[in-house]
Amino acid sequence: MSNSASPASLARDFERFKRELPRDFAAHVRDTYRVDLSARYLGESLAHPIGKGSGQLSLNAGQLETDADAGLAFTVLKTVIAQDVTGTQSMAAWAIHETRMKVERRGGGWTVTWKGRGWDRSFEDYLALVRAGRDLTRAGRLLAVPSVKYHLPRLTEVFRLDEYAFTTRALARAWGEAPLLLEKDFSPTLAGDQLAEEKQQILRWLREVPGRIRDHAEVRLAMKLMNARFDDAFQDEMIAAASDADALVVFNRLFDAQQGVAYGGPELSARNLRVLDRPPDGPNARPPLSGTGNITSGRAIVEYAVRGCSSVQLHTFFQLPLEEYPATDGSRTQRALHGLVFEPRDGLLAAMLEREAAGTLARRGGELHFLDLLPDAYRAR
């Protein structure tokens, strides 16, 4: 470890940045520590791997501006419910207004509980948000990705293709330049719905949805997979069925059937990492991955990376009580990034430098690379 990458210098930066995190902290990390944090999501290069998952923290332009100013790599917009040209939504039950979120401890970690589901405002309002995200993306300030919940039929039913057509085309027009980057949300509340009680029904969705979307626009598609109410082996089946996606977000929150809510915390990350530890069927059996679930430290980011995730999406960690962050100033996004990257024991930098010292991560051209944490099968993807 060079002098510039010493624990003492990391501790100094950690203290210094408590007051103000530089927006381009990834450049500082590269210059000071010779560590390249570059990451990927949906084929796009990112300055670092940390993004925000779809939800209540990405439903207006002000939130996007705050995240861009903080130096967040990417954000996934609140999930809109697909509709046809008349405004009819077959999945209208997911467009529920309930903004109250409860941040609480569960299983020794943090989770956010709320019963709201998708976008509950007008579709035109959502298109305006997409355009705001598009402008930030083109300015190089923040990659913004729309998220959609499309019609999911029962096994004996047909897809409502009019909803796929109208929604996809409208989003593509709002975005302008092709391809449209898009996330298809298989939400945790879906896991608790009667629709998701049959395995073959779920597998049909995962196999057929990408084609239904791509029929209507040039789309680069990520599918955010739910934690189904079946065993770990079925999660593998879901990954295999979704192989036509351009990326997978693995995996959405767990569902508490008794309380009727989705939840996170250590139980979620334990299952996600356990499933990702299962060997894939072949070297290219899984699309590129983005990890999510109970990511509250840079060390947790590394745990997802070594299992194939070239980026991560957080939600709960951006909502903790202010006293839970070591930073004393800045937005919650800035405070979260500060702790995730610079914390001297469990931050991303510390975890990568620790692996270098242990001989499990080597420098190339004098630099450590975040993407070198990934298994060989994922590095070129």
Q: Taking 60 as the threshold, does the pLDDT of residue 116 lie above it?
A: no
Q: What are the tokens at 90? A: 């077959």
- Per-residue pLDDT band for 45 (boundaries 50, 70, 90) equals very high
Least confident of 62-71, 109-118, 143-152, 246-255: 109-118
Report long-range pairs for 269-275 (Cβ below 8 Å, ≥24 apart): 269/109, 269/293, 269/294, 269/295, 269/300, 269/303, 271/227, 271/232, 272/227, 272/304, 273/303, 273/304, 273/307, 274/232, 275/232, 275/235, 275/236, 275/250, 275/251
Q: Taking 60 as the threshold, does the pLDDT of residue 350 lie above it?
A: yes
Q: Taking 90 as the threshold, does the pLDDT of residue 107 lie above it?
A: no
Least confident of 100-104, 308-312, 319-323: 100-104
d(CA 301, CA 49): 8
Report the share of the chain in percent with pLDDT over 90: 73
d(CA 265, CA 129): 30
Enter the pTM of the model: 0.93
C-alpha distances in Å from residue 31, one per residue of 4, 57, 70: 9, 31, 19
Instruction: Tell me what the mean pLDDT of segment 322-346 comes to.
Output: 97
Least confident of 62-71, 82-91, 249-258: 249-258
End-to-end CA distance of the chain: 29
Give the type of residue at 303: E
> Could you tell me if 202 and 238 are in contact, meaning their C-beta atoms sit under 8 angstroms apart?
yes
